[in-house]
């Protein structure tokens, strides 16, 4: 068996790659790997999902697997991924399961696992779970019977607890701010508007009517065109877009200009520094962050640490170094004082809190970062490792780095969730970046042509 877990859990096309049988096997293996070994009490698991139609099917399989392994299960229904992580900690559960493919299209789904406390799993635990599945499948277990079978209950007020937690983290109210929030027809379609309203903002919600099929469909953090238009139409101070499971947040200004995760991190870093809350005056970002963020933080006396792509690696660095803020250009922002994972709604609240506290517009705050032109090409491939690591591809990237000198950079990265190689180039002009990126992308296509 190849690697089952990608950069953010197990992901694939629901009922094709990610079948109910696989979901059940992952649940059983996770229960046996993560559940409390003290059998004086029964293990407890929290299970949530986003709005995808396939989530209902996969939830049934996961719940059955957990209960068959002797774990009690608390279903929390449709909630953001960070809400499930929060509730794992609040209920003192042994593990949590979130069924979501985040920003991916509706036919996909995924299984995200949390350990006790709501923490994402390190690589070594994922490898243990994979080994257990390979050795035992979903059937070869000594299963409990009778009273040993797990029980299943629903937590009906989980959203209320989560919203109360979120609104309690900001230092000031948001009165006077008008925001349009794009809920991506996803997991935050209820809690995001409520959280922003309860914090004092005037809220216009769009794409907040999920039908199981329209999650991320030309909406949310990957498709902000409708948000731009709505912000201008409603005369709002800003717009906020979440993805399908609401662990991301990107924003737009009153004029409809995008404010990405790099700019949001800079705004929050300065706010936390001014409040004495930015530990060691250090921000954690990934290799995908724009060079402009690094230059802006340096000018402000803030150190920037760099990790591999994936909020899990940002989290690992934050924990290892005891730091207070990190994130990704894509809008995953992590604030360990308040959340164990990236939380889009939490990020939106703190972004607006900075606006309210300073009286400055989002455009003014975001201007601290002058972004270097950046081009990202997602190249479909048959094999991600070959596409990113073929000698001709690496040679093309090295030549480009030499040509750019100190005025830009090249990054090649196989996607952790899709059959893509991401080619990212920064340069002095967008034209140079586009030319260089297309040249390298052509080598990637030659090295591993996409099938079909």
- How many other β-carbons are positioned within 10 Å of the β-carbon of residue 48? 29
What distance in Å separates the CA atoms of residue 312 and residue 118, rounded to the nearest whole number?
Answer: 12
247 annotated ligand-binding residue = yes
Sequence-distant (6+) residues with CB within 8 A of 154 are 74, 75, 76, 77
For 134, the enclosing helix (H) or strand (E) is: helix 123-136
Q: Is 154 labelled a binding residue?
A: no
Per-residue DSSP letters for 252-276? EETT--EE-HHHHHHHHHHHHHHTT
Indicate which residues carry an active-site annotation.
102
The response to whether 102 counts as a known ligand-binding position is yes
Beta partners for residue 14, in sequence order: 18
- Report the C-alpha gap between 43 and 67 in whole angstroms: 10
Q: What does DSSP assign to residue 281?
A: G
Residue 245 is assigned to a ligand binding site: yes
Asked if 178 and 202 touch (Cβ cutoff 8 Å), the reply is: yes
Listing DSSP states for 265-332 in one string gives HHHHHHHHHHTT-SGGGEEEEETTS-HHHHHHHHHTT-EEEEE-SSHHHHHHHHHHHT-S-EE-TTS-
Measure CA 349 to chain center: 17
Binding site residue list: 102, 243, 245, 247
Binding site residue list for Mg(2+): 102, 243, 245, 247
């Amino acid at each position: 068996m190849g690697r089952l877990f990608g950069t953010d859990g197990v992901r694939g096309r629901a009922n094709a790659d990610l079948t109910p049988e696989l979901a059940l096997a992952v649940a059983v293996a996770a229960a046996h790997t993560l559940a409390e070994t003290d059998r004086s009490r029964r293990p407890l698991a929290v299970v949530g999902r986003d709005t995808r139609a396939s989530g209902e099917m996969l939830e049934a399989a996961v719940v059955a697997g957990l209960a068959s392994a002797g774990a009690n299960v608390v279903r929390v229904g449709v909630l953001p991924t960070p809400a499930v992580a929060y509730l794992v900690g609040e209920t003192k559960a042994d593990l949590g399961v979130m069924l979501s493919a985040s920003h991916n299209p509706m036919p996909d789904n995924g299984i995200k696992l949390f350990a006790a406390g709501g923490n994402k799993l390190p690589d070594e635990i994922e490898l243990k779970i994979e080994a257990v599945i390979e050795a035992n499948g979903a059937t070869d277990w000594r299963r409990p019977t009778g009273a040993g079978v797990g029980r299943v209950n629903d937590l009906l007020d989980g959203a209320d607890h989560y919203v109360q937690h979120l609104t309690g983290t900001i230092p000031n109210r948001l009165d006077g701010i008008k925001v349009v929030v794009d809920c991506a027809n996803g997991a935050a379609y209820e809690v995001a508007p409520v959280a922003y309203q309860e914090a004092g903002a005037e809220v216009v919600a769009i794409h907040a009517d999920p039908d199981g099929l329209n999650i991320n469909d030309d909406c949310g953090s990957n498709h902000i065109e409708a948000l731009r238009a709505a912000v201008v139409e409603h005369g709002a101070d800003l717009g906020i877009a979440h993805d399908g499971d609401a662990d991301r947040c990107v924003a737009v200004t009153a004029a409809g200009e995008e404010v990405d995760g790099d700019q949001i991190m800079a705004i929050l870093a300065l706010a936390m520094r001014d409040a004495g809350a930015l530990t060691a005056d250090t921000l954690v970002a990934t290799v995908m962050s724009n060079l402009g963020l690094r230059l802006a933080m340096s000018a402000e006396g803030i150190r920037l640490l760099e990790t591999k792509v994936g909020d899990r690696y940002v989290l690992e660095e934050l924990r290892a170094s005891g730091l207070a803020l990190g994130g990704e250009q894509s809008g995953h922002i992590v604030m360990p004082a308040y959340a164990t994972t990236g939380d889009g709604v939490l990020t939106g609240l703190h972004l607006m809190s900075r606006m309210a506290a300073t009286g400055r517009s989002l455009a003014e705050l975001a201007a601290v970062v002058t972004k270097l032109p950046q081009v990202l090409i997602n190249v479909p491939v048959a094999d991600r490792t070959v596409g990113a690591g073929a000698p001709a591809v690496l040679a093309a990237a090295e030549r480009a780095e030499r040509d750019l000198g100190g005025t830009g950079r090249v990054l090649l990265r196989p996607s952790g969730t899709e059959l893509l190689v991401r080619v990212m180039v920064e340069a002095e002009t967008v034209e140079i970046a586009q030319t260089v990126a297309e040249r390298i992308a052509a080598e990637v296509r030659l090295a591993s042509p996409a099938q079909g």
